Structure formats: structure tokens, C-alpha cells
């Protein structure tokens, strides 16, 4: 499901988040033995933290998509 089908800002954000997650996955930084710290281009712990933040943001985008897809009238109780 693609987030923000009606909202270009959400759609663009989703694309950027997905691209960043793909870069992290392709970087191999999450390998079991990253070697000595002097050879690191990036701190593996910081990369893991960024990945968690990106996945959290991805979840928020999906939640917004779900909220946008709901009928606003269904949340209003008649009385």
C-alpha cells in the first residue's frame, strides 16, 4: 500500500524514507563484526538508531495513510 496517495508531501516522504532504509540495508553496516573502530566509515550503533527512527517514521506515515482513508463521518456519533 502506498502512503499519501492524496498527499504529495506524504508520498515524497515515504519515498525518501524507503530510499534511506534501502541504503542502510545495502551498506552492510549491520554486519556481525564491523571490524576495528578505526576502519568504520559510520558508527554501527548510530546506523542502527537511524534505522529504528526511519522505521518508526515509516509506521507513522502508514498510520496517517490509514487515517486519511477513513470516512470522517464514521467517527462522528449521531445523537
Q: Answer yes or no: pTM beyond 0.75.
A: no
Scored b (16 or more CB within 10 A) or e, 9-46 reads ebbebbeebeebbeebeeeebeeeebeeeeeeeeebee
pLDDT of 6-57, one tens digit each? 789 999 999 999 999 999 888 877 666 777 888 777 788 898 999 999 999 9
Angle 46-29-10 (CA atoms, 0-180°, nearest 5)?
A: 65
pLDDT over 80 at 75, yes or no = no
The pLDDT of 51-67, averaged and rounded, is 92
Amino acid at each position: 500500500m502506498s502512503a499519501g496517495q492524496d498527499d504529495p508531501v506524504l508520498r515524497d516522504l515515504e519515498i525518501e524514507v524507503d530510499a534511506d532504509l534501502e541504503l542502510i540495508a545495502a551498506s552492510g553496516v549491520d554486519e556481525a563484526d564491523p571490524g576495528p573502530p578505526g576502519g568504520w566509515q559510520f558508527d554501527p550503533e548510530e546506523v542502527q538508531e537511524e534505522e529504528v527512527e526511519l522505521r518508526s517514521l515509516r509506521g507513522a506515515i502508514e498510520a496517517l495513510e490509514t487515517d486519511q482513508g477513513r470516512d470522517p463521518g464514521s467517527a462522528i456519533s449521531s445523537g
